[in-house]
């Protein structure tokens, strides 16, 4: 028995795939599933691991997923592979680090044409911190502009890995897949750990299932867990009884026990996803481990925005949607909020901008609620003259200037990787965003790492889009939270038709206030359609108007054309107009489209 277990443990290989968006991670995962015959061709949906529609459409992975595969290697043995999928975006760094912690190895996928990107590098460092064996794979070698040799050199120069036997692959064309699988067998160490020691299982993901409660995705690091065991969450001290254990192949296979090295799922009638923290350790409640696994961190939202239903009768639907999403997303926070302009809604906290966009899109799509999203804000730390400390996550809640002693705002360390042709553009952009230059490192002859300290609020605005457009899409960005710093910030109000619109208020650095105010009123003029009357738009700091523009009155929109008997064309045109109106919120007497509330993010668009 023990020998069997040991033998089995020695044949387990746990690995992740690290890749930049678009470098082919999902396609490679598909190929691996195909080659290990986890799925018959008929079952094979392209990009099997990305289950949610949204993930497939955006080509990114939001939720992690782990699959058990059997691979018959050239040495004649059958190995048990656990492929743990990781999200590939800056908002989810912590989740990536936990899923990497569940592995002994990682495939590093680098696009043979594009080379290493900032996000890839950040994740490679995470993998190295977790002591993972890294297998470099140079992908898309069948593309006409592939330069595998240059990329191989880059991997050696930039990361310091031995890339001499990196696999040259094309996941799309099915080239190099067997080499990858053989290297996993050879290079990735088998899991170490004592199956008889007290249980330590790392939670690297969770999801909510309406019938089974929270499903925790776990990696057994020490010990064994069996159905019926009493277990304890070491961070929250909550106890539960194990109902189900299993693995995904990716079909669900139930198990009686999971032991050292196994990667699978656990259910225990857990009602609340907030009881299952990613990074927490599950142990046995009767025979607990002495200490939890290292690296646990509670996730805090970095970005806040208001979500309001356009149709105010949908407020309850929105609350239900948030409740449902929260079940699956422990990082999502929300609380009710009221706006004079928008009525009842919620202030929601997110890990980052992508996280925010995904939640917003899911609410609109899956719950069919048209939303108004206010411009995202960070948390400002305010000391009042009365000695009170405030955390402000909504610009309209900022106290009057005379009541403020000091304001602090969050700063991040931003790492921007760019071809050296764009160094000037990147620096100009960072300076324009109140950045402090920290360092610049040449990674190779023509790739540069530029490091700036930047206010998070500037990144939240439109930094990423501007970075992409000023570097023709070549630069990539990674950032990490540094801490709060004092700043000279002021609140800017926007008035429509003479009325202050709280949902449009924003906090700006006083040196940039005029410039930004001007840009915003111009953008709003562009985004808000003509009304039956003239609408002045003003930007104000306190009582002082700093910028102004005017939307002219609508004068004529009647269709005065002979369409003959073609009524359907008239109808389509009117339906389009009516659809547009549905997506507008009447604020005072002005009909304001959704996009206008995000105008501040779009001031640099043409």
Partner 1 sequence: MFCNSVAYREGVCMIKGAYIHIPFCEHICYYCDFNKVFIKNQPVDDYLDALEKEIAQSGSHPNLKTIYIGGGTPTALDTQQFNRLLNIVKKYLLNESIIEYTIEANPENITPEKLYLMKESGVTRLSIGVQTFQDEILESIGRLHHPDDAAKAVGEAKKAGFENISIDLMFGLPNQTEDMLIASIQEALKLQTEHISIYSLQIEPKTIFFNRMKKGKLTLPGQELEAKMFETLIRTLEEKGFNHYEISNFAKPGFESRHNSLYWQNEPYYGFGAGSHGYIYGQRVVNSGPINKYIQRVNNRGHACTATHQVSITEAIEEEMFLGLRMKQGVNKRHFYEKFGRPLNSLYNRTIKDLKQKGLLYEDEDRLALTHEGLFLGNDVFSSFLLG
313 binds partner 1, rule: CB under 8 A? no
Stretch (H or E) spanning 518? helix 513-527
Size of the site for partner 1 (CB under 8 A): 25
How far is the C-alpha of 101 from the C-alpha of 267, rounded, in Å?
Answer: 21
Q: Check the annotation: does 252 bind a ligand.
A: no
How far is the C-alpha of 391 from the C-alpha of 127, rounded, in Å?
Answer: 35
Q: Check the annotation: does 27 bind a ligand.
A: yes
Q: Which of 57, 162, 575, 605 binds partner 1 (CB under 8 A)?
A: 575
Q: Is 88 within 8 Å of 99 (Cβ atoms)?
A: no
Q: Is 416 within 8 Å of 479 (Cβ atoms)?
A: no
1 binds partner 1, rule: CB under 8 A? no
Going through 359-432 in order, the beta strands assigned E by DSSP cover 371-373, 380-384, 389-392, 404-419
Binding mask 506-545 for partner 1 (x = CB under 8 A): ------------------------x-x-------------
574 binds partner 1, rule: CB under 8 A? yes
- C-beta of 44 vs 574, nearer to partner 1: 574
564 binds partner 1, rule: CB under 8 A? yes
Q: Check the annotation: does 139 bind a ligand.
A: yes
Using the rule CB under 8 A, give the single segment among 8-16, 226-234, 443-451, 573-581 that binds partner 1: 573-581
How far is the C-alpha of 512 from the C-alpha of 435, rounded, in Å?
Answer: 13
- State the minimum distance, in angstroms, from the CB of residue 597 to partner 1: 23
- State the minimum distance, in angstroms, from the CB of residue 575 to partner 1: 6
- State the minimum distance, in angstroms, from the CB of residue 314 to partner 1: 17
Residue with tokens 């099997």: 48
Q: Check the annotation: does 370 bind a ligand.
A: no
Q: Check the annotation: does 20 bind a ligand.
A: no
Within a 13 Å sphere around the CA of 222, how many CA atoms are in the beta-carbon half? 16
144 binds partner 1, rule: CB under 8 A? no
Using the rule CB under 8 A, give the single segment among 84-92, 241-249, 392-400, 554-562 that binds partner 1: 554-562
606 binds partner 1, rule: CB under 8 A? no
368 binds partner 1, rule: CB under 8 A? no
- State the minimum distance, in angstroms, from the CB of residue 519 to partner 1: 23
Q: Which of 41, 402, 544, 561 binds partner 1 (CB under 8 A)?
A: 561
How far is the C-alpha of 335 from the C-alpha of 306, rounded, in Å?
Answer: 10
How far is the C-alpha of 254 from the C-alpha of 265, rounded, in Å?
Answer: 9
Taking Cα atoms as reference points, which of 204, 246, 248, 252 lies closest to residue 225? 246
How far is the C-alpha of 240 from the C-alpha of 285, rounded, in Å?
Answer: 8
Backbone angles phi, psi at 59, to 5 degrees: 70, 25
Q: Beta-carbon neighbour count of residue 174 at 10 Å?
A: 14
How far is the C-alpha of 546 from the C-alpha of 538, rounded, in Å?
Answer: 7
Using the rule CB under 8 A, give the single segment among 197-205, 210-218, 564-572, 594-602 that binds partner 1: 564-572
How far is the C-alpha of 405 from the C-alpha of 388, rounded, in Å?
Answer: 9
- C-beta of 164 vs 568, nearer to partner 1: 568
- CA 503-506-510 angle, 5° bins: 160
The SS3 assignment for 478 reads: strand
- C-beta of 252 vs 573, nearer to partner 1: 573
- C-beta of 187 vs 530, nearer to partner 1: 530
How far is the C-alpha of 374 from the C-alpha of 445, rounded, in Å?
Answer: 43
210 binds partner 1, rule: CB under 8 A? no
- C-beta of 131 vs 575, nearer to partner 1: 575
How far is the C-alpha of 570 from the C-alpha of 317, rounded, in Å?
Answer: 34
- State the minimum distance, in angstroms, from the CB of residue 495 to partner 1: 23
- State the minimum distance, in angstroms, from the CB of residue 551 to partner 1: 12
577 binds partner 1, rule: CB under 8 A? yes
251 binds partner 1, rule: CB under 8 A? no
46 binds partner 1, rule: CB under 8 A? no
CB crowding 537-561: b at 16 or more within 10 Å, else e: bbbbbeeeebbebebeeeeeeeeee
Cis peptide before 156 (omega within 30 of 0): no
Q: Check the annotation: does 142 bind a ligand.
A: yes
**Interface positions, 436-475, toward partner 1 (CB under 8 A):** none
290 binds partner 1, rule: CB under 8 A? no
How far is the C-alpha of 242 from the C-alpha of 578, rounded, in Å?
Answer: 53
- C-beta of 46 vs 567, nearer to partner 1: 567
565 binds partner 1, rule: CB under 8 A? yes
> What is the length of the chain?
606
What contacts 74, CB < 8 A, 6 or more positions away? 182
- C-beta of 41 vs 578, nearer to partner 1: 578
- State the minimum distance, in angstroms, from the CB of residue 549 to partner 1: 17
572 binds partner 1, rule: CB under 8 A? no
Rule CB under 8 A: which residues touch partner 1?
530, 532, 552, 554-562, 564-568, 570-571, 573-575, 577-578, 581
What residue numbers does the annotated binding site for GTP cover? 22-27, 139-142
What residue numbers does the annotated binding site cover? 22-27, 139-142
């Amino acid at each position: 028995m023990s020998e069997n277990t040991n033998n089995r443990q020695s044949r387990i290989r746990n690995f992740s795939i690290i890749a930049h968006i678009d470098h082919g991670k999902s396609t490679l995962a598909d190929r691996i599933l195909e080659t290990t015959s986890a799925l018959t061709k008929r079952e094979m949906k392209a990009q099997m691991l990305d289950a949610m529609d949204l993930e497939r459409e955006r080509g990114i992975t939001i939720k992690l997923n782990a699959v058990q595969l059997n691979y018959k290697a050239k040495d004649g043995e059958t190995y048990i592979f656990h492929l743990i999928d990781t999200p590939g975006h800056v908002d989810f760094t912590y989740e990536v680090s936990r899923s990497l912690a569940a592995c002994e190895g990682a495939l590093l996928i680098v696009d043979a044409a594009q080379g290493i990107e900032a996000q890839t590098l950040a994740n490679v460092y995470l993998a190295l911190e977790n002591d993972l064996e890294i297998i470099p794979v140079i992908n898309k070698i069948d593309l006409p502009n592939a330069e595998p040799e240059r990329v191989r050199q880059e991997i050696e120069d930039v990361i310091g890995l031995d890339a001499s036997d990196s696999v040259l692959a094309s996941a799309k064309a099915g080239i190099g897949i067997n080499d990858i699988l053989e290297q996993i067998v050879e290079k990735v160490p088998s899991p170490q750990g004592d199956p008889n020691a007290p249980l330590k299982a790392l939670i690297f993901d969770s999801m909510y299932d309406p019938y089974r409660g929270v499903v925790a995705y776990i990696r057994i690091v020490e010990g064994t867990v069996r159905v019926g065991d009493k277990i304890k969450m070491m961070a929250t001290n909550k106890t539960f009884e194990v109902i189900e254990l299993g693995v995904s192949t990716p079909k669900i296979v139930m198990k009686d026990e999971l032991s050292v090295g196994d990667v699978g799922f656990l259910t225990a009638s857990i009602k609340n996803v907030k009881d299952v923290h990613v990074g927490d350790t599950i142990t046995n409640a009767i025979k607990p481990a002495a200490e939890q696994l290292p690296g646990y961190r509670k996730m805090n939202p970095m970005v806040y925005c208001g979500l309001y239903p356009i149709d105010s009768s949908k407020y309850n639907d929105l609350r239900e949607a948030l409740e449902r999403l929260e079940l699956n997303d422990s990082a999502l926070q929300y609380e009710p909020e009221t706006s004079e302009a928008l009525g009842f809604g919620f202030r929601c906290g997110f890990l980052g901008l992508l996280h925010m966009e995904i939640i917003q899109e899911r609410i609109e799509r899956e719950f069919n609620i048209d939303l108004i999203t206010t411009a995202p804000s960070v948390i400002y730390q305010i000391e009042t003259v009365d000695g009170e400390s405030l955390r402000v996550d909504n610009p309209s809640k900022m106290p009057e200037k005379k009541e403020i002693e000091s304001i602090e705002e969050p700063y991040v360390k931003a790492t921007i990787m760019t071809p050296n042709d764009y160094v000037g553009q990147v620096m100009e952009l960072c300076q324009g965003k109140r950045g402090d230059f920290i360092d610049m490192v040449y990674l190779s002859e023509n790739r540069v790492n530029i490091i700036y300290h930047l206010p998070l609020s500037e990144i939240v605005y439109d930094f990423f889009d501007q970075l992409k457009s000023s570097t023709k899409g070549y630069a990539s960005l990674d950032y990490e939270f540094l801490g709060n710093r004092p700043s000279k910030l002021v609140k800017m109000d926007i008035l429509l038709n003479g009325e202050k619109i709280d949902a449009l208020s924003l906090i700006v650095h006083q040196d940039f206030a005029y410039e930004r105010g001007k840009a915003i009123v111009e953008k709003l003029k562009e985004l808000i359609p003509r009304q039956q009357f003239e609408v002045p738009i003003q930007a104000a700091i306190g009582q002082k108007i700093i910028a102004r523009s005017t939307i002219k009155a609508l004068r004529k929109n009647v269709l005065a054309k002979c369409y003959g008997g073609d009524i359907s064309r008239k109808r389509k045109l009117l339906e389009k107009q009516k659809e547009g109106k549905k997506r507008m919120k009447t604020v005072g007497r002005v009909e304001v489209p959704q996009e206008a509330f995000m105008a501040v993010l779009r001031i640099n668009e043409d």
